[in-house]
Chain A
Amino acid sequence: MTPNYEAVVGLEIHVQLNCETKMFCSCPNRPGDEPNRNVCPICLWLPGNLPRFSMEALEKATLACLALNCQIQKESAFDQKVYYYPDLPKGYQLSQFHRPLARNGWLDFARDDGTRQRIRIHKIHMEEDVARLVHEKEGRTTVSLVDFNRAGTPLVEIVTEPDMRGPADAMEFLRSLRIQLRYSECSQCSMEQGTMRVDANVSIRLRGSDALNAKVEIKNMNSIRHVGDAIAFEIDRQIACVKAGEPVITHTRLWDPDARITSPMRGKFDGPCVPDPSVPRILVEDEWLQGMIGRMPEMPGVKAERFMSRYQLTREEALQMSSERDVSRYFEDVLKQKAPARLAAQWIGTQLLPLLKEREETLENAALSPNRFAELLIMIEREEINANAARDVLRRLLESTASAGEIVEQCGYRQVSEAGELAALVDRVLAQNPSAVENFRKGVAKAMGFLMGQAMQASGGKANPRVLKDLMTEKLSSYST
């Protein structure tokens, strides 16, 4: 970006709540089922029906608001957002326009340089989703099909203040937001699966100015990376516009992920919002709200701090162990079995999670209980097996019900640490590789790695690498003198 300009970015984020039912009827909240399976007279809005607001939707929405440090409003209400489109059975969308569920929240994230940035949340409101339209060709005729499975499913819309200054801010904010919301267990928040949808409002101004200039809304990004790319493109486009002497006009653009550009879309008609006479006002009582606050878990920021101070994890380890609720739960369960903390964090982060991902399993459904995993970690800690062997044992733990100890015994993974045995092995390897020894004496550092590899191979992978290396260093230095 040209140093003279800075970007002003605000986001509007739609999050699909993971409720059992739709927002105003008891149809299952499963938009992906076979088309028009999850429908009833209410969500099809056949004449004579009335919305029946779901308590679960209010609970999940409240959790989302609490996770983003918002003030829950004592009184909120639904409005009719009027526009006519076949995806909208009522001819209006029930949404909290005038009186949202929550206001004045915030969320922090860390910038690359380590500074903390606070993004203010303007408001969070509940609304129902619309149906899905499919346009197809039947021969030469275009047909429009409507799938009402999604109609009436519960959403919250999160509107931020224009506090972000570029694509990196927006991406970091979204990652942080996703972690917070997943923690509160109100949504999966997957942009790829459409449970989180992000629109970005972008404008530019001269650096140092506090003006809010004409903004452009961009839509259709389906990953956090796309959000960043689209914002970056849009900032450059607006600067080019201004430099060419063209004004930036408020409008909406669509991100094209293949061409990696935004292009203008037909202006969406912004309809009026009329108070709905059929959905009762929502009055939040203190006692109920306290109950909801009680349901909130320790949030990731707090948890990471605790992991650092209590378990002496590095910041990076603590962030990784706290970024998902099930990971943090698993981590602490493993520690309860007396496994060493840092080793546990490292092995969960670098070995177990990638392995589960490769096997398309999760901590929840994998066969590896915390105590079986802890036993493995303790064996590593006691140097009863080395890291190579431990990785094999980990795979076998996921495939069987045997304990780590049993696998180590059965497969002979127990580490050889006995110095006499290893010394003989080192002597043999050095004798078999005179040219490498010669190289080492000439100062070729790589030669040491090669010889270590040969020795480890000769031990069948069971040598204690620390003892082996000590012996190797000792022998080689005696050669060189």
Chain B
Amino acid sequence: MYSEVFAHFDSSAPAPSNGGILAGKRVAVQSLVGVRGWPAAAGPKALRGFVPLEDASVVRRLKEEGALLVGNTAASELGLGICGDCTARAVQEGHADIVLMLDTMGEARMAAAKAGLCGFKPSWGRVSRFGLLGLAPSMECCSLLARNPNDLAQAFRTIEGMDDCDPSMVAVGEARDRPGNGSPSKDLTAGIVTPLLEALSPQERNAFSRAIANLQDAGVTIREVTFKDQGLFSVVHQVIASVEASSSCGKYDGVRFGHRAQGAKNWNEMYLETRRESFSSLLKAFLFQGAYFQFENYPAFENACRIRARLVQENRKLFESLDLMLLPMQSTLHDANQARTLEQLYNAFPFTLLANVTGQPALSLPSVFKCGGQDMGLQVLGPFLGDEELLSWAQTLMVQGEEAA
């Protein structure tokens, strides 16, 4: 099954001889995480023939800590959605212990939930974006999938931290001023955003309530919280991410790298043909939407940015009295694996894109929230830059949840 999962499989890679905290760990990366010399061929046609000249900073750090890079995996188109993405299978099928995958609206967490794995999207700004071939810089984050939270924590410790190649990162010192930070209280307080649960089926809603009740029984304090504009997370994400995608896809012009259309009479025609051939209709729809807000309806984009800033503030405020926020990962009403239009896509990620909008860290945990025998995945969100605390609670929650279930 290697050929389905991997775009490039490095069977000859020697195990690194130096030690390091990841010594002996096999790591695969989604082919949108650049590895020097490995073709990024599994993405869109636009990237065909493009071979990164340098390792992504996250890859360089993994290698330095002794990880064995086994290959890169077939990816969805520039990380939008999970259709056709085989990254999670690398762990699920035992080819790797840890995989790295972009998370723009929840893809990495969703892939983890569907494969029964743990998935972790760190806080925006804690992991270098250098070498990532994504779409929406302010939304996406290089994320981690593994069988257990411990591997996630180790891999996170390896890849996080300031990087000269990415000046947009956030210094952790800046945000360590939250009351109670650094010393996780024994008693966890978790918030539930009840109105968001309307995206679940009635049966799933009941199952979610049961899962939460189990955690409550295990000693977690549960509080219901609301955002003033929780209905706007999705639209804010869509407006801003599509605008950023439109900008970041400007480089796919066939001039310097990647695919170039043949037979054009002049550069303008070459340019248009190249882009016509380079993107799928899903991505084109996304790019058109972004271009619409850029060129035709800029005030809507400005509004989205303002609303986002308000949601971020509201979220920070909520976390002054919360340790965690608990949300479902998905609903069976809308399957992310089948999402082939923008509408289907946004319907399939109603719970996860919240953390991409706010930039806060989020985990997808298996075995805690089940419905009708199916593991739905529980999403646990931590405070912005509180990545370590969130990871340290993950183990507790899984044990408590599993025992209760």
Q: Which residues of A are in contact with B by a Cβ distance under 8 Å?
A: 41, 44-53, 80, 82, 84, 86, 88-92, 142, 144, 146, 271-272, 274-275, 277-280
Contact = CB atoms under 8 A, between A and B. Distances in A.
Contact of B267 (A88, A144, A271): A144
A278 B257 CA distance: 22
Nearest to A144: B267
Given A50-B165, A86-B267, A41 B129 contact: no
B56 interface: yes
B247 interface: yes
Contact of A277 (B131, B168, B246): B168
Interface residues of B, number: 40
Contacts of B137: 277-278
A50 B129 contact: yes
Contact of B167 (A45, A49, A52, A146): A52
Contacts of B249: 91
Contact of A92 (B47, B129, B131, B250): B250
Given A47-B251, A274-B301, A144 B167 contact: no
A279 B244 CA distance: 14
Nearest to B137: A277
A24 B54 CA distance: 18
Contacts of B218: none
A271 B40 CA distance: 31
B4 interface: no
B255 A89 contact: yes
B102 to A, nearest CB: 11
A48 B47 CA distance: 11
A47 B243 CA distance: 17
25 contacts: A41-B54, A45-B251, A46-B52, A46-B53, A46-B251, A47-B50, A48-B52, A48-B54, A48-B131, A52-B164, A82-B250, A82-B295, A89-B251, A89-B255, A90-B247, A91-B247, A91-B249, A91-B253, A92-B250, A142-B266, A144-B267, A146-B255, A271-B295, A272-B294, A275-B305
Contacts of B267: 86, 144
B247 A89 contact: no
B271 interface: yes
Nearest to B53: A41
A272 B250 contact: no
A49 B130 contact: yes
B166 interface: yes
A44 B256 contact: yes
B293 to A, nearest CB: 9
Contacts of B167: 50-53, 278-280
Nearest to B138: A277
A278 B47 CA distance: 21
Nearest to B164: A52
A50 B166 contact: yes
Contact of A91 (B53, B130, B251, B305): B251
B248 to A, nearest CB: 8
Nearest to A44: B256
B298 interface: yes
Contacts of B266: 142, 144
A365 B53 CA distance: 43
Contacts of A92: 247, 250
Contacts of A91: 247, 249-251, 253
Contacts of B294: 82, 271-272, 274
A52 B128 CA distance: 13
A87 B260 CA distance: 16
Nearest to A141: B265
Contacts of B130: 48-50
A410 B40 CA distance: 77
A271 B250 CA distance: 13
Contacts of B295: 82, 271-272
B336 interface: no
For A89, A271, A274, the residue with the greatest tally of chain B CB atoms inside 10 Å of its CB is A274
B152 interface: no
Given A84-B271, A91-B250, A275-B305, 14 more contacts: A41-B53, A44-B256, A46-B50, A46-B251, A47-B47, A47-B133, A48-B132, A50-B166, A51-B167, A91-B253, A92-B250, A272-B298, A274-B247, A280-B167
A50 B166 CA distance: 6
A53 B267 CA distance: 30
Nearest to A272: B294
A111 to B, nearest CB: 42
B251 to A, nearest CB: 5
B328 interface: no
A196 to B, nearest CB: 28
A35 to B, nearest CB: 14
B165 A89 contact: no
B40 A47 contact: yes
B34 interface: yes
Contact of B255 (A53, A80, A86): A86
A79 to B, nearest CB: 10
B168 A279 contact: yes
Nearest to B294: A272
B283 to A, nearest CB: 14
A88 to B, nearest CB: 8
Contacts of A48: 34, 52, 54, 56, 130-133
Contacts of A146: 255
Contacts of B271: 84, 86
Interface in B46-62: 47, 50, 52-54, 56
A92 B56 CA distance: 23
Contacts of B34: 47-48
A48 B53 CA distance: 10
Contact of B168 (A80, A84, A89, A278): A278
A47 B257 CA distance: 9
Contact of A46 (B250, B256, B298): B256
Interface string B63-82: 00000000000000000000
A82 B247 contact: yes
Nearest to A53: B167
A80 B251 contact: no
A84 B258 CA distance: 17
A111 B54 CA distance: 57
Nearest to A148: B256
Interface string B117-157: 00000000000011111000110000000000000000000
Interface string B158-194: 0000001111100000000000000000000000000
A82 B56 CA distance: 26
A84 B287 CA distance: 14
Nearest to B291: A82
A80 B129 contact: no
A155 B83 CA distance: 43
Contacts of A88: 250
B165 A52 contact: yes
A450 B400 CA distance: 117
A165 to B, nearest CB: 35
A274 B244 CA distance: 9
A114 B35 CA distance: 66
Contacts of A272: 294-295, 298
The 7 closest A-B pairs by CB, nearest first: A91-B250, A277-B138, A277-B137, A48-B131, A47-B133, A272-B294, A48-B34
Contacts of B256: 44-46, 89
Interface string B2-27: 00000000000000000000000000
B257 A84 contact: no
A91 B243 CA distance: 13
A344 B368 CA distance: 90
Contacts of A44: 256-257
Nearest to B47: A47
